[in-house]
Amino acid sequence: MNRKTLFLILKKISEVSLVLQIVLMVVERTIYPPQDLVNIIRILLITGFILAALALPWVKNTSSLLKILSLMGIILYFIGLLFSDFYILIAIAILIGVLMILLSDSFEGTKDGNNKKEPFPLPEPAERSGNAKTLIKYFTSTMLTLLNPFQLVQMIYQIIGMIRLSKVEDFQQKGKYTLPFTDEWLILNGGIERKDSHSWDVINQRYAYDFVVADSKNKRHVNNGDNLKDYHCYGKSILSPADGKVIKIKDGIRDYPKPGTMTLDFLAKDFRGNFVMIEHEDKEYCFMAHFIPGSFEVKEGDLVKRGQIIGKCGNSGHSTEPHLHFHFQDHPNFYFGRGIPIKFSNLKINGEDKIDAYVKKEDRVAPVNHDMFIYHTRM
């Protein structure tokens, strides 16, 4: 096992341990299991979290300060376990562990010198804040989502779904799908390989894409990026990628009014924001999210045609800037579907015509046959 793999495993253990502790709190307050059993499970989960999270700086080439801080966290934790009056030390150790997870993205991959530099600039609001403040804001908003009961329940469903699912094997695409827009968009995240995916370990979103509109320098907004309408893709029409039936729509979630700050809307009742699920073929469902509230032009039960306008691109739910989240899965339930890789038809990739092709992060993509978008041009 190489250091990169070990790093990813430790990070996943620490994140899962943290979430399971929240699940344990819910279970403890609802079905009242034996307290001794709860205490044992809690200690095991906290210990797993501490050891995994505080081992992260030692797996990668990080600063001596972070390594010393992580070692102090481990020492404080075990002192707190041995002496019950020093429970505050356990709390400090947990905070250090959370800090290591927060900072891990900044040193993830530093051991491997061949990693490419991130090609996309941060939105200007995040650039103005600086890396440290941006990380703190993102971490704070992430932690606050755990206090939102609606989002907490969704996270539990997500965990249950991930536990019961496995990797897709021998998937054979049935439908022909076109890009869900008319002009050129940039893929900020996504692809059929781990290196391009921003959600590889989230099984239903393994092959998810984040589509944005960007200029030649990959900048996604005009002006200072503080306003939603500064973003090039905000308000653009999102289209159905093929004929199908609308089986689920969620509307009424506000557009998060702080785009580009890299924070999450912890007050939203649904972390997906406003979304639509369309059934196209057996076990081929497309999911599109973050629409502007009230912008849907279809409703549940509608039969839709390829190129028909579904709604407008927005910033609702967990969206750090206006964009379209797009993925396919094999089940109509968002939480219980396996993500499936989809080839798109009749498109340009970085200016080159393709009949059928997979797309990936950094690609600039646009549909070729505009005649198919009869619903869009008629509006």
Give the pLDDT mean for 261-276. Answer: 96
Range scoring the smallest mean pLDDT among 145-159, 228-242, 296-310, 319-333: 145-159
Who has greater pLDDT, 200 or 293? 293
Give the pLDDT mean for 334-353. Answer: 96
Q: What is the pLDDT of residue 113?
A: 38
- Residue 215 predicted with pLDDT over 70: yes
Q: What is the pLDDT of residue 106?
A: 63
Who has greater pLDDT, 131 or 168? 131
**Helix, strand, coil % in the chain, rounded to nearest 5:** 40, 20, 40
CA distances from residue 179 to 143, 183, 278, 286, 293 in whole angstroms, order as listed: 35, 9, 14, 12, 22
What proportion of the chain, given as a percentage, has pLDDT over 70?
88
Q: What is the pLDDT of residue 373?
A: 45
Range scoring the smallest mean pLDDT among 41-45, 234-238, 265-269: 41-45
For the entire predicted model, the pTM comes to 0.72
pLDDT band at 379 (very low <50, low <70, confident <90, very high): very low
- Residue 378 predicted with pLDDT over 50: no
Range scoring the smallest mean pLDDT among 16-25, 39-48, 110-119: 110-119
- Residue 169 predicted with pLDDT over 70: no
- Residue 1 predicted with pLDDT over 70: no
- Residue 358 predicted with pLDDT over 90: yes
Q: What is the pLDDT of residue 110?
A: 41
Interior angle at CA 358, CA 9 and CA 175, nearest 5: 110
- Residue 310 predicted with pLDDT over 90: yes
CA distances from residue 70 to 44, 86, 245, 326, 369 in whole angstroms, order as listed: 19, 19, 52, 38, 56
Cα gap 151→146, rounded to integer Å = 7
pLDDT band at 143 (very low <50, low <70, confident <90, very high): low
Helix (H) or strand (E) holding 309: strand 309-312
pLDDT band at 232 (very low <50, low <70, confident <90, very high): very high
Mean pLDDT, the chain, as a whole number? 86
Cα gap 324→307, rounded to integer Å = 16
Cα gap 244→140, rounded to integer Å = 40
Q: What is the pLDDT of residue 32?
A: 83
Report the residue count for the chain.
379
Cα gap 379→376, rounded to integer Å = 6
Q: What is the pLDDT of residue 371?
A: 52
Per-residue pLDDT reduced to its tens digit, 76-121: 888 888 887 777 888 888 888 887 877 776 664 443 434 455 678 9
